[in-house]
Every structure is written in structure tokens, then in C-alpha cells.
Structure 1
């Protein structure tokens, strides 16, 4: 583990943000660093690029007739955000109270190193055939993944796929992620005027775009806080104990603010749709003029049931927004992004082997099956491309990781258990 941690810290120091506005040389450097790590474990490695960021594919043969296991992670990371929000240097891994802080240290460079650790534990002679696929653009919606799967899919075919980009239930309790919500992201524009006009002279009879937008956005939830778009799928989630106090602690819900929606908290997070306004174009408070703003624009992120078809959900949302146009204002809805959800039938010998490996790595603690409210569209892409493979969605994160946010961190003791569990899983799959 000391060597694995050192390699993780070195990889994390490369600021491999895949967003176009950042220096993409760092993403290339990160791909090369991953390739070097895999080559050092005896893998045959190549870096592939199909119109997007570089991905790394490595292969190491096991005994003749052994099953093939594909290990997935991604080496690109989220933008750092405002440096003032960080308590430690953003790309310099810093340990505090058993956690390692840095952007990308958990999401998902620890996933990369968990795969390296599993290979290293077997001394370059794994009991199964191992293929490692480390993507370089997961944080920007994996745009070239379909082309990579189309051109290189045969070399990625496997009996079992381990996707290390999720989380465990809590510190000390391992988990398999068996459901993921899908995603529909849209931009909605509300036009009230051809041009801005004086708010004193015309305010009263003439609506403005921002007020109309606010009224339209308010129709997206009912009084209880449930999503009010008609026709969206919903169901109940797994019956795990998740009290409101845990929600408040893990989410940072402000004192006095009530949770919204109805049904169990886990259903609201895992299997029911959610709607979030993630951005608004508007004059800033500091520079606002006394003007009726002609157009209001917002970006909406809607998470959908794991079995919902994204295109169907988009049409339902579009219809709702158009039908609820305030005061006859012109409403335009543009699809920004979409991705399918995922639901696994987590039964069979591969899942049994995974749960056994988790149980031993966590000193007898029984693993749980969880859902995740976030969306990981590439999981559905793998499920579609390799329908006969058992897909295990695992991860190194925990509820305190703060992936994508300031002060992202990795719990080092849990990371060690993840590495051990993956090494044990390869061993047990090799033993049939």
C-alpha cells in the first residue's frame, strides 16, 4: 500500500481536467502516466483516441481457459472550482485525519490505482485474464466512448466488468451499486420582449423574461416538492435504514430547511425523478439596471428512474414547460445532454464472488446493495455492448468524499479495503 499510495499521489498531481477551457496537455500526460503504471505490471498497453480525450487499454493474460475480467476507471477529473473554497492545495495530495485531500484523488484516480493494486498483489500473474480500460473524458459525458466501443470493443469483451466509479454505503460498510438514475439536461428560454425597456415606464402591464422564467420554474415541483412533470416513472428503492439525520449530516442541509418530496428518502434519491436548476443567465445584482429583461434562460438537470428512456423523459419535460408558459411568453426548450440509467440483476456466481471478497476485506461486514442518485451513462453503454457480462459497479468513495466539490478526499483505510477486495475478487473468479 505505501507504493500504491505514492503512485496515487503522483497521478493526482497531474491536473487532468478534461473540460475544453483547460490545458489538455495535462490529460495527455495523465494518460501516459496511467499507461506507464499498467506497463510496469506487465500489461500490453496502448493509448487510443477516437476523436476525444485519450483512453488507455491494457491487457495481461492469465492461465489458459481462465475467464476475462475488465477493470474500468477514468483518469480525467472535474475542474477545481474556486481555490478559496479549498482548505488544502488543490492538486497536492494532503493527508488530514486519515483522509487524503485533492481534486481527483477519489474521483477517479483512486479507482485507477485500485486496479493497479489488484494486479500488483498477484505479482504480474493474475489468476484470470485482465483487461484494464481507463477512460479520459468521463467528466465530460464520455462523448467518444461509443466510437471507442465500436472500434475496440472486441478487445474489451469480458465475462465480468468491474466499474470502479461509485461509492460504499458508509465508512466500514461496503456496497455494490445496482441501480443508477438516468439524466436529462435541458436549457429553457423564456422570451417576453423583443428588447429591454424601462422598468418604471412599462412595469405593470408588461412582463419581463426573468419573472416569467421564475414562474415557469416554480411549476416543476408540487407543494410537497415532488417533480410535477406528468408521466415520469417512479418506484420504491431498497429498504435500507437512512434516517433524516443522516441525510442532513451527509448533504449539509441547512438548519431549519426541510427535505422536499414524499416517500422514503432513498426512493427520492435513487428511483424517483428529481429536478434541479443548475444555472441561470441573468444580469448580476451588482450591475443590474432598472430594466425589464427581455429573455430569461436556465439550465435544468433532471434525474430519472433507472428504467426511464431519456428521450421519453425529455419529451415529457418539454411538453410540461411549453404547456405552462406564463402569460403567453415564448418558451424554447433545447436538449443539452442525456444519458440512460442502469439496473442490474445482481445475482449469480460473479456477484457471489464479489460479495465474498467484500466481506473478507471488510473483516466480516456484510456488503449491501445500493442505488445511486447520480448518473453514470457509460455503465449503460457497457451493459448494451456486453449484454452477457456480469457488471459490478463498485467504488472508492464514501458519503464524505465530496466528489466534484471543494475539499474532495479519499478515506485511506477504506481505499486499502477496496484494493484488497479487488485482489480477492480476481482470485475467486480465477478459482471458478
Structure 2
């Protein structure tokens, strides 16, 4: 007999103290997949996740595709029922400067209804939302379940394609829930229907074989830092629109995003103007953006009176849905080579590519999700929203499992500060997320296959 809405509400409420305790245990594990960090902690994190899934009576294996460990847990479907794949990741971003945190990054602390700690929102809460839904059903799970908990998402998911290919049959499912996005606002759920792609690259300019005296040669020889600065200014027009020919951009977002809210959520200083043109949601969801993430050049406290012979910058370009990463990188490289001033030497090297994606958010599975979210948020229907960030592997899921409905959900809200200092999870919203996922599984079980 299937559990009713009231049954699931009561079950989620019953399970939340244990779910929170297990979330806090996960947050205490600094599982960072980046080079230079202790990867035994990623192993420890994978083992902790595996233990949680075994507690839900899943068959569990820890797998690798040449990188950090992922966890797969499986429980077969009842006769005639569909199978749902639940994705999240257990690795986290580095904490950065501890002085910027109001509490220890890997010691969870509650303040004003939010749980603070690295990974509390992104994405260990995603892992625990899946666990909460399974615990709510106990032995009465109405669908087949495959949990796929990745271990290097924050580091670029380099081995994910190999894992998906290797375990394709084990992961095959009718519905895929990717819990690594967010909701529109506190009190307003969302389904993510588009994500931008990504090109990260380096541009290095050179003007001299080595540094020379700035007094003796300044005024005739261009220094590399000035060259790089002038080259960077060609990347945007006067409005701040990306000025690289060949990049795709489009309009079409319909959600209203007030400027005051964006400025508050981003922490924009008074007097600083926003860049770009058109609707704010178009600018951050469906048009390209370009940011300079870092520059290699002499530090001001160490700079001598010498012309800088070479300088290097890291550029990050977010691609609009519908763009092609390879074509976009070619356009970026062509622009940099064309506009480098004064005949300076320029070298462009690629760091990483990520495909954008558009999700067809129609059909029975999405209807089931919208109904679940509306119920969990007490009558507030979910918003269809885009995301300016990138989850490139969604395109891989779309390619490998073309018949599966893909739902992109998440636990974050606009104040979660994922990737930044003082990352946090709104505990009230987290309980709604857990209830929504349990209701989703129940609703999917009733769909005609």
C-alpha cells in the first residue's frame, strides 16, 4: 500500500533530526578533490556516504574512473514500477581563507535557522535529501532507486564520463533527479531548465626576452602588463556586453528578477553600475559572460622599476544555452590573437570546456515534480528558472539516456553562499526539499510507463 501525503509528511518530520545529524557528520569531512589537498578525506567521505546508503538497504559499491571515488547504490524496482536515478556529489570546494568565515568551515554551526559549514548546501544536503526520502519510505519504496554520488564534481568531473560509460547499465533509469541546483527564493521552489556552458582559458602576452630598466626603455618598449590590460579591455563593449564575435546569445527568460534583489544577493557596492543590456535574467541565464579570474604579474610590494616582459590572465567565459564549446573557444582565441596590441606575442591555452544545456521540462515526470513541489511548499508552484553556472555533465546524461526525463533540483537558496565563505543551508527549506523528493518518488510511481 502506497504512503499518503500525510504519511510522508509525518515520516519526513520523524526522520529530520537523524538526517540533520548525518548531514553534520558529512560536513565535518573536508573531502576536497583539488590537487594539493588530502585525498584520504575524499575516500573517507565516500565511505561515509556508502554507509548511509547501506542503511537504506541499497546494494552499494564505491567506484572510480581514474579519479576520486564515487558511490553507487541500487535497489530494484517493484514489478512494473519505474526506476529513478538520484544524483548528488559528496566532494566540496576548498574553504579558502578561514579568517573570512564567522565559524570553522568544517564544524557545522546553526545560526538563525541556517546551518553553516562548507558543503552544508553544496552538495552534502543534496546527498541527505536523497537519504531522507528513502528513510521516509522504509521498506515501502514504490520505485526502483539508483543513487549516484560523485566525488569530484567541484574539481571538474574529469572522470565522470568514464564512470557513466562503464556503469551505464547499472545507472539506466526512467527518471533522473540531479540535486545540485537551487530554488528561486526562500519559500519559492524551482526547477532548473537551462544552464550555461563554460570555457576557461589562459592568455599570456610577451614583449621582451627579460625585464629591462623602465627609465631607460620606457616610452619606446611596451611592457607586457600594459599590453595585457589593453587586450582585456577589448573583451567588452562600453555597456559591458561581451564583444567577441561568434558567441551565441539569446533572449527568452520570463522570470522577473528585480535589480534591487540582484544587487543585494550579489553584494554589489553602492554606486557600482550593472553591466550588459536586456532583462537581468537574460544576462545571467541565456547570454554569454566573461570574467577575468586572475592575473600573473609582479606583486605591487615586490615590483621593481623594470618593464614587465610577460603577463598572463585566466579568463572564464560562460556560454549561452545553444552554444558549442569548441566553436566558442575558437572564437575567443581568434579575438585575442586579432586584438593584441603593438605586435606583442600572445599565446592562448585551454584549461577546460563545459557544454551548456537546455532541458525539456514538459511531460509526466515534470508534472509529477511540479505537483510534489507545490504540495511541499504549501501551494506555491515551482518557478522554471535558468542558472548562470554550469553543470556540463547534464549534457552527458542527456546523450547516454535520451529516453529518461531529467529533473534538475537542489537545496540552495539565494543566500546559501555556495563556494564562498559562510556557506549555509536554510533548515526549513531543507525539510521542504526532503518532503518534495519523497512526494516526487510517490508521484513517479503512479505514472504510466
Q: TM-score, normalised by structure 1?
A: 0.99
CA contact (8 A) 2:253 2:286 kept: no
Q: CA-to-partner distance for each residue in 1:197-238, whole Å, 9 max, x for gaps?
A: 011110101001110000000000000000000121111132
CA contact (8 A) 2:115 2:426 kept: yes
Give unmatched runs, 5+ long, in structure 1: none
Q: What does residue range 131-170 of structure 1 map to in structure 2 within 5 Å? A: 131-170=146-185
Are residues 1:227 and 2:242 paired? yes
Deviation at 1:50, TM superposition (A): 1.5
* Distance (whole Å) between structure 1 residues aligned to residue 255 and residue 105 of structure 2: 35
Deviation at 1:286, TM superposition (A): 1.0
CA contact (8 A) 1:303 1:374 kept: yes
Are residues 1:130 and 2:145 paired? yes
Aligned to 2:331: 316
Q: CA-to-partner distance for each residue in 1:334-376, whole Å, 9 max, x for gaps?
A: 0110000110111000000000000000000011100000011
Secondary structure in 2 matching 1:381: helix
Equivalent position to 2:82, from 60, 67, 87: 67
- Equivalenced residues, count: 432
Secondary structure in 2 matching 1:425: helix
Q: What does residue range 384-399 of structure 1 map to in structure 2 within 5 Å? A: 384-399=399-414
* Distance (whole Å) between structure 2 residues aligned to residue 395 and residue 266 of structure 1: 19
Deviation at 1:430, TM superposition (A): 0.8
* Distance (whole Å) between structure 1 residues aligned to residue 158 and residue 252 of structure 2: 30
Q: What does residue range 93-112 of structure 1 map to in structure 2 within 5 Å? A: 93-112=108-127
CA contact (8 A) 1:237 1:270 kept: no
* Distance (whole Å) between structure 2 residues aligned to residue 233 and residue 49 of structure 1: 35
Are residues 1:282 and 2:291 paired? no
Aligned to 1:367: 382
Aligned to 2:68: 53
Aligned to 2:53: 38
Aligned to 1:295: 310
Are residues 1:193 and 2:180 paired? no
Are residues 1:240 and 2:255 paired? yes
Give unmatched runs, 5+ long, in structure 2: 1-15
Equivalent position to 1:306, from 321, 327, 349: 321
Deviation at 1:124, TM superposition (A): 3.5
* Distance (whole Å) between structure 1 residues aligned to residue 22 and residue 49 of structure 2: 10
* Distance (whole Å) between structure 1 residues aligned to residue 322 and residue 168 of structure 2: 24
Aligned to 1:408: 423
* Distance (whole Å) between structure 2 residues aligned to residue 117 and residue 237 of structure 1: 36
Q: CA-to-partner distance for each residue in 1:249-298, whole Å, 9 max, x for gaps?
A: 11001110000011111100001000000010011111111110100100
Deviation at 1:312, TM superposition (A): 0.4
* Distance (whole Å) between structure 2 residues aligned to residue 380 and residue 5 of structure 1: 32
* Distance (whole Å) between structure 1 residues aligned to residue 165 and residue 139 of structure 2: 29
Are residues 1:358 and 2:369 paired? no
Deviation at 1:125, TM superposition (A): 3.0
Are residues 1:423 and 2:438 paired? yes
Aligned to 1:2: 17
Deviation at 1:91, TM superposition (A): 0.3
* Distance (whole Å) between structure 2 residues aligned to residue 153 and residue 20 of structure 1: 28
Aligned to 1:84: 99
Deviation at 1:126, TM superposition (A): 1.1
Q: TM-score, normalised by structure 2?
A: 0.96
Are residues 1:253 and 2:265 paired? no
CA contact (8 A) 1:62 1:125 kept: no
* Distance (whole Å) between structure 1 residues aligned to residue 173 and residue 215 of structure 2: 67
Q: CA-to-partner distance for each residue in 1:36-71, whole Å, 9 max, x for gaps?
A: 000000000000012100000000123111101000
Aligned to 2:224: 209
* Distance (whole Å) between structure 2 residues aligned to residue 381 and residue 289 of structure 1: 49
* Distance (whole Å) between structure 2 residues aligned to residue 358 and residue 226 of structure 1: 36
CA contact (8 A) 1:237 1:371 kept: no
